[in-house]
Amino acid sequence: MAPPVTTILSAARAGARVVRALIAPAQGSAQQPHLGQSVNQFGRDPWLPQSAAQQKLRRGASVTRRGLGLATLMGLSVLGAVVIGTISLLLLIFGVLQGSAAAGWLLAFTLLIGLFGMIWTARRASNLLSPPPAPTVPLADAQAAADGEQGLLTLLHTHERALPASTQGAFRATVIATRDALRVSAGENMLSREAFDARQAAREDLPELMDAYRSVPPTPHSDQQLLEQLSLIEGRMHTVIQQGRAAQERRLSAGRQYLEDKYQPDTEE
């Protein structure tokens, strides 16, 4: 007994969704950030160090998915080539060679569809072969995006594992201190010297330092220079953090004093 038409249609729709998912370009773990969110969609804090096993697992999953996508795309390409080739051959033999103008137009239209299919296949294959973009990581708040926190996270993931073990800890500590300085100074209404230094460190000083370090051959002297400059930036960021937290405490105390003066009953007779 033949299966119902609805079953066939449901299976076809499910297959189409699977094929679209496989041949879609590789995506990073993008998602809409929420205020105060500190973990990504995988439940992992993106600022924590990544173990080699986790990196290999994610890289393996990405490679597997892209491989399946390429295999599916190749299958679709072969199927399309067979269909287009068969139709073109039939039109050529039974139409164009018999002097039919309509068959000639249909053959040209079929070949044009085949050309579009080749272009579409090439673009899909190029997207699948390209590595997925860097994930869009949720930031602590909306202002942090403008202050360079996303750039800091990209900088951390780009350079940390490429550094020698003797400098990895100092580099991570400096980046985390700069991130905390950005967050402490993000709520300021006016751009203070501390907020300016934090943003300059995130946007210019750290990226330029890492570019300069990576441009020279790795030597103990260059490692020492990197450590010294990272120490300077980290020290300034800790000062910014302390001053920012002290300012927050003063604002909190001032708010409490204001509310006490406003709402506390007057006990004087």
In order of 74, 121, 180, 246, the CA distances from 111 in angstroms are 19, 15, 60, 72
Answer yes or no: do 94 and 176 share one domain. Answer: no
Give the pLDDT of residue 141.
Answer: 47
Report residue 100's pLDDT band, with 50, 70 and 90 as the boundaries.
confident
Dihedral (CA of 202, 206, 208, 210) sign: negative
In this structure, the answer to whether residues 115 and 156 fall within a common structural domain is no
CA–CA distance, 85 with 79 (Å, rounded to integer): 10
Cβ–Cβ < 8 Å for 61, 166 = no
> Residue 138: is its pLDDT beyond 60?
no
**Does 177 map to a domain?**
yes
Residue 13 lies in a domain: no
Q: 124 with 65, same domain?
A: yes
Domain check: are 152 and 233 in the same one? yes
Whether residue 41 has pLDDT greater than 50: no
**Residues spanned by the domain of 203:** 142-260
Q: What's the pLDDT score for residue 36?
A: 40
**269 in a domain, yes or no?**
no
Residue 31 lies in a domain: no
Q: Are residues 194 and 96 in the same domain?
A: no
Q: CA-CA distance, 73 to 188, in Å (whole number)?
A: 52
Angular region, 55: left φ>0, alpha ψ -120 to 50, beta rest: alpha
Domain identity same for 148 and 245: yes
pLDDT in tens, 210-220: 999 999 998 99
Q: Are residues 121 and 152 in the same domain?
A: no
Determine, yes or no, domain membership for 1: no
33 within some domain: no
Domain presence at residue 14:
no
The answer to whether residues 154 and 238 belong to one domain is yes
At which of 100, 132, 164 does a domain end?
A: 132
pLDDT tens profile 104-134: 888 889 889 989 989 988 888 888 777 665 5
- Tens of pLDDT along 10-39? 665 766 665 566 566 555 444 444 434 444
Residues 160 and 256 placed together within one structural domain of the fold: yes
pLDDT at 62 over 80: no
Q: Are residues 123 and 200 in the same domain?
A: no
| Number of structural domains the chain divides into | 2
3-7, 79-83, 174-178: which has the minimum mean pLDDT? 3-7
Asked whether residue 239 falls in the same domain as residue 157, the answer is yes
Residue 172 lies in a domain: yes
Does pLDDT of 53 surpass 70?
A: no
The two tokens of residue 134 are 């860097």
Q: What's 210's domain CATH number?
A: 1.20.1440
Q: Are residues 147 and 244 in the same domain?
A: yes
Structural domain ending residue among the three candidates 82, 104, 132: 132
Range list of H helices, the chain: 5-23, 52-91, 101-129, 142-147, 149-159, 165-185, 193-200, 206-214, 220-263
Domain boundary among the residues 95, 112, 132 is at 132
